[in-house]
Structure 1
Amino acid sequence: MSQSQVCPILDGSLAIAKECSIPEYSPAMKLQPKQIDYTYFFNDTTAKRKPSELRELSRLVDQLPPGSIKLGVGVPNVHTFPFKGFDVELASGEVIKLNEGELAAALQYLPSIGYTPLINKLKEIQDQYHGAQNWKVKSIMVSSGAQEGLSKAVDMCMRCGDAVIMPDPTYTGAIDLFRLHDAEIIGIKQDSQGVLVKEMEKVLASRKKKNQLMPKVIYLNPTACNPCGTTIPTNRKREIYRLACEYNLLILEDDPYYYLSFENVHPTSFMSMDTEGRVLRFDSLSKIMSSGLRVGFVTGHNRLLRQMELHMQTSSMHTSSLSQVLVHKLLSHWDNEGLVSHFLRVKKFYKQKRDHMLLAVKKHLSGLAEWYVPCGGMFLWLKVIGLKDTRCLVTARCLEKNVILAPGYALAIDPKKPSPYIRVSFSIASHEDVDRGISLLAEAIREEIQAV
């Protein structure tokens, strides 16, 4: 066994293992850039969006030197607000305090694209983890969690009845966004390493040959995905990116668990191999800093982010100023060394939670269920042996025992079909609750199988 994290295959135990380490991405694999007509990806509503003249002024005001006379800015005076300062105590016992300028920014409107100092800091992070980006053609927009960014991207691209490619099962928050547009959702099956590329290629080739409506978008949750916990390896990502280029698709890389990968090295992202400007990457601070701060960010080509910014101008206007300023203050306080230390601490915490869950599952569910060992994240995906559908098991029998689980059908592309799967989260429950909960689940499975 190498030093890299191993991911046992679906055999119901931890005995048989296969490597899920991600090979180094070679720049030689990069494709030659070409000009993309981004209007192809814009729906009619997006095409009609125009800049808000007053919101555009906020961009200009943000760039003015100190002492400028602001007679045309229709914002409230911060001196009327009931806040004098913000001190935040960290888990380490350290205290960070907003200075006068930071406090003024935290209490006031910001440009819709986000707080400039935070955006600059996030660019540094993206360069560090995904390779140097061309910030002349790319940019970052801060969003209220990755979900808002994803929502605006879907609303930008999808026309009623458009087709989209997604893994099956997948994150329900994404499915719901596409369903609002009556999308034809093309579900691609998965194995222990994520979506099956050959199936994706077969679907695309078949639809093109039959002159069927071609999808414009691929949605992927590539690292320790919700709900399966699998990570797409680099070689598959290269093939998916190749298909995106060949069939003119945008890749929506929704990656909130990227920093919760249990690998020794971070996964190679789609963004890091994007030479054509067809990847929109969605990052979130919810899993590693605070879900309540509601800070995420979108990275992508300026042309795409500009349309999403115009939507932001007429919806939430911008992500919480206080949250953005606090995040920037914390990132500046930590600097790179502190941030890396925090990532390692969080990863260690969840890896220990996962390992304890696996011990409980092996003890109580061997012979009753099959599973992949997740390479990161917060979830374990169980397949119950001997049940075609876990609906009644989860929504009735387990609830009677006060055990809350997520049934597989709720995470499927078609929730009406029976599903033998269960999603188990190991993020919150104590070791004692995990032991008790998995024991009760085993008890419930036996009862349900006997009843069926």
Structure 2
Amino acid sequence: MAQSQIYPILDGSLTGTKISGEHSISPSKVLSPLKIDYSYFLNETTKKRKPSELRELSKLAEKLPPGSIKLGVGVPNVQTFPFKGFEVELASGENIKLNQNELAAALQYLPSIGYTPLINKLKEIQEQYHGVQNWKIKSIMITSGAQEGLAKAVDMCMRQGDCVIMPDPTYTGAIDLFKLYDAEILGIKQDSRGVKVKDLENALLLRKNGNLKIPKLIYLNPTASNPCGNTISTYRKREIYRLACEYNFLILEDDPYYYLNFENKNPISFMSLDTEGRVLRFDSLSKIMSSGLRIGFVTGPSNLLRQMEYHMSTSSMHTSSLSQVLVYKLLSRWDNEGLISHFMRVKEFYKHKRDYMLQTVKKYLSDLAEWQDPCGGMFLWLKVIGLSDTRRLVTSRCLEKNVIFAPGYALAIDTKKPSPFIRISFSIASPSEVDLGISLLADAIREELQLS
């Protein structure tokens, strides 16, 4: 795919952008006040959380003019730190150097919600890709990767034994969060266009007619999902949002592969469709910038993010100051054009990786497996023909050949059920490793089929 075919769904500059065609959203609806009773979604522990009075002071101190005398905040003096400067070299050969004020911020505590300049920059990016947002009633919180934001959202809402809706199969990191609450997981099957909305609607109707508790949350990994590599269609997103309004549940939009989709246009997000304040969107820079920086961010109703901030203030306090300041500096250096150019390069890199993987599985596995081409991300979801369960194939036979895959059962809602699927990652392996690994998988499948 040529770089010119990969572009944002919006036209115009970072601020004041307009969405055209099927992506149009009424500004009046986007900017309308939210009228949801968010207390319904909060568990008892969350309702007990209160703002840390001293942590609140850090917000006030941040707004004071230069030269103000700060005698009330208990933070260490940066002059005692063994760092004088910070400079990094980019892959382009350019250098980024933090000035004195930026270095001071990078070495010091920050407000739990995050570094204000970075938050403002991320607001611009969100509006570029997801439409105009009303920042009077919505906000952004920086987290240590999208996973921390997701964990705090689950901890905010879940009670023991609550029911939650999830795709099946799905990201195991999300399943594990809900299992801590002994959740009743309502798994919804998927196809190439994502979760099957009719199945979801039928499941909700059955619960309603059976006087069973309606889930308060649906977890979705909507773009190039892990593990299936599918993207929920715009039509299905609209239908899922309609059901969220009808049955009064929140949408946890965990979208770390949004910027790694290989389609001609970026997908319509649930956040861009949200007119009632039902979406908590989790973004991550791990896949497109650096996983080690641990920068993710949550966008959603301020009422909910405020509760998550209370939790942050008594746990990790805030995401790494150095990482936040460095990312802000980089985004400021790139500006809009540089950011899009970087996204294009990363997409092209992974698209070539995917194409080679597909070429290789077609070469070795065309008579042994079935698959659908992933539309982005890092994974190929493959079904072995004639094998009801890949557990022994992956965990024993393939390991004996020194090749590692993820067995399908490990990504299912019920991990005890047999699964004929395998998840193959194409993100890291070299072409020669892919060729050898898939050929070894073919040998292993044939050996396993002889025993079945």
Relative to the length of structure 1, the TM-score reads 0.94
2:153 alignment counterpart: 153
2:352 alignment counterpart: 352
- Distance change in 2, residues 1:243/1:33 (3 Å): farther
- Contact 1:168 1:190 (8 Å CA) reproduced: yes
- Contact 2:230 2:374 (8 Å CA) reproduced: yes
Once residues 61 and 258 of structure 2 are traced to their aligned partners in structure 1, the CA distance between those partners, rounded to angstroms, is: 35
1:27 alignment counterpart: 25
Once residues 247 and 253 of structure 2 are traced to their aligned partners in structure 1, the CA distance between those partners, rounded to angstroms, is: 17
Once residues 156 and 28 of structure 1 are traced to their aligned partners in structure 2, the CA distance between those partners, rounded to angstroms, is: 30
- Contact 2:138 2:301 (8 Å CA) reproduced: yes
The answer to whether structure 1 residue 70 and structure 2 residue 101 are counterparts is no
1:376 alignment counterpart: 376
Equivalent residue of 2:103, what SS?
helix
Superposed displacement of residue 26, structure 1? 4.0
Once residues 46 and 33 of structure 1 are traced to their aligned partners in structure 2, the CA distance between those partners, rounded to angstroms, is: 23
Question: RMSD value over aligned CA atoms?
Answer: 1.5
Once residues 33 and 382 of structure 1 are traced to their aligned partners in structure 2, the CA distance between those partners, rounded to angstroms, is: 45
Alignment coverage as a number of residue pairs: 433
Superposed displacement of residue 367, structure 1? 1.2
- List per-residue Cα deviations over 1:106-130 (Å, max 9, x = no partner): 0000000000000000000000000
Equivalent residue of 1:215, what SS?
coil
- Contact 1:25 1:234 (8 Å CA) reproduced: no
- Contact 2:144 2:295 (8 Å CA) reproduced: yes
- Contact 1:78 1:107 (8 Å CA) reproduced: yes
Superposed displacement of residue 83, structure 1? 0.5
2:55 counterpart letter in structure 1: R
Equivalent residue of 1:317, what SS?
coil
- Contact 2:222 2:253 (8 Å CA) reproduced: yes
1:301 alignment counterpart: 301
- List per-residue Cα deviations over 1:53-86 (Å, max 9, x = no partner): 1111111111111111011110000010000111
1:204 counterpart letter in structure 2: L
Superposed displacement of residue 4, structure 1? 7.9
The answer to whether structure 1 residue 171 and structure 2 residue 166 are counterparts is no
1:181 alignment counterpart: 181
Superposed displacement of residue 27, structure 1? 3.0
Once residues 131 and 400 of structure 1 are traced to their aligned partners in structure 2, the CA distance between those partners, rounded to angstroms, is: 51
2:124 alignment counterpart: 124
Aligned positions of 1:35-54 closer than 5 A: 35-54=35-54
1:412 alignment counterpart: 412
Once residues 381 and 86 of structure 2 are traced to their aligned partners in structure 1, the CA distance between those partners, rounded to angstroms, is: 42
Aligned positions of 1:84-123 closer than 5 A: 84-123=84-123
The answer to whether structure 1 residue 224 and structure 2 residue 224 are counterparts is yes
Structure 1: gaps of 5 or more residues: 6-22
Superposed displacement of residue 25, structure 1? 3.0
- Distance change in 2, residues 1:99/1:33 (3 Å): closer
- Contact 1:409 1:418 (8 Å CA) reproduced: yes
Once residues 24 and 373 of structure 2 are traced to their aligned partners in structure 1, the CA distance between those partners, rounded to angstroms, is: 28
Once residues 116 and 225 of structure 2 are traced to their aligned partners in structure 1, the CA distance between those partners, rounded to angstroms, is: 31
2:125 counterpart letter in structure 1: I
1:10 alignment counterpart: none
- List per-residue Cα deviations over 1:288-318 (Å, max 9, x = no partner): 0000000000000000000000000000000
Once residues 403 and 392 of structure 1 are traced to their aligned partners in structure 2, the CA distance between those partners, rounded to angstroms, is: 13
Superposed displacement of residue 253, structure 1? 0.1
- Contact 1:284 1:297 (8 Å CA) reproduced: yes
Once residues 214 and 129 of structure 1 are traced to their aligned partners in structure 2, the CA distance between those partners, rounded to angstroms, is: 32
Superposed displacement of residue 351, structure 1? 0.1
Relative to the length of structure 2, the TM-score reads 0.94
- Contact 2:312 2:318 (8 Å CA) reproduced: yes
Structure 1 runs of 4+ with >4 Å offset: 28-34
Sequence identity of aligned pairs in percent?
78
2:337 counterpart letter in structure 1: E
Superposed displacement of residue 211, structure 1? 0.4
- Contact 2:25 2:272 (8 Å CA) reproduced: no
- Contact 1:370 1:385 (8 Å CA) reproduced: yes
Superposed displacement of residue 28, structure 1? 6.6
